[in-house]
Amino acid sequence: EAQVTQNPRYLITVTGKKLTVTCSQNMNHEYMSWYRQDPGLGLRQIYYSMNVEVTDKGDVPEGYKVSRKEKRNFPLILESPSPNQTSLYFCASSSGLTGHGEGYTFGSGTRLTVV
Amino acid sequence: GESVGLHLPTLSVQEGDNSIINCAYSNSASDYFIWYKQESGKGPQFIIDIRSNMDKRQGQRVTVLLNKTVKHLSLQIAATQPGDSAVYFCAETRRRNMLTFGGGTRLMVKP
């Protein structure tokens, strides 16, 4: 089954403790992206990647890092999490044939709470 | 399931009626628009898209209308069903792979 898999689904952590949220897709998609979703703010793009070793900032990149060492994986790294990073996070991938949003497949989300 | 928004505009319709969900966008340079559906506890799911050189596109039970003059996008769902209950987001692209989402509308279908 074609899918985007995020782990963990739920995570509670303390301020300053480094964490990584993993994202993997099995569709051989070139484009991958991370979003955070907050009440009243919709989904905001954190980082995206157009291909292996190619990443770029989205609307809200501060406090996050990403890497794209291989095509299928696009982990989101919080080096020093803070409470304002408490949010619902989604990873998405796309074939990007036209560079637009059709065919974006989203993961099921990761609920992160930073205390 | 996960809450996707506590203060969303809500549209309540009777089962079988047509639904119209509206979205205003701000950037006249946006060249591509997408509607997503998000059910509780799940990620957004692609519904339908439209390019800026079009004003209407139809899918199965859904139609998207684009009015570039007033920067307005709408999603029409025909014969709304209980399974259509979800939060609906519009999204626009201003540049390659940079999707910008609207705040979302919660659709509630009454049996």
pLDDT at B70: 92
Say if B64 is an interface residue toward chain A (CB within 8 Å).
no
Say if B101 is an interface residue toward chain A (CB within 8 Å).
yes
Give the residue from A5, A9, A37, A54 with the most B CB atoms within 10 Å of its CB, the best one to mutate: A37
Encode burial over B88-99: b for 16+ CB neighbours within 10 A, e otherwise. bbbbbbeeebbb
Residues 6+ apart with CB under 8 A from A77: A18, A19, A20, A64, A65, A66, A67
Model confidence at B3: pLDDT above 50: no
pLDDT at A53: 94
Choice between B43 and A2, residue whose per-residue pLDDT is larger:
B43
pLDDT at B18: 97
Question: A82-91, pLDDT tens digit by residue?
Answer: 999 999 999 9
Which long-range contacts does B78-84 make (Cβ < 8 Å, 24+ apart)? B78/B18, B79/B16, B79/B17, B79/B18, B80/B13, B80/B14, B80/B15, B80/B16, B80/B17, B80/B18, B80/B19, B80/B107, B80/B109, B81/B15, B81/B109, B82/B15, B82/B109, B82/B111, B84/B19, B84/B37, B84/B109
Task: Round to whole Å and give the CA distance between A85 and A111.
Answer: 10
Mean pLDDT score, B47-59: 92
Contact between A100 and B3 using a beta-carbon 8 Å cutoff: no
pLDDT band at B4 (very low <50, low <70, confident <90, very high): very low
Question: A39-58, pLDDT tens digit by residue?
Answer: 878 899 999 998 999 999 99
Chain A CB contacts of B101 under 8 Å are 35, 42-44
Contact between B42 and A31 using a beta-carbon 8 Å cutoff: no
Question: A89-98, pLDDT tens digit by residue?
Answer: 999 998 765 5
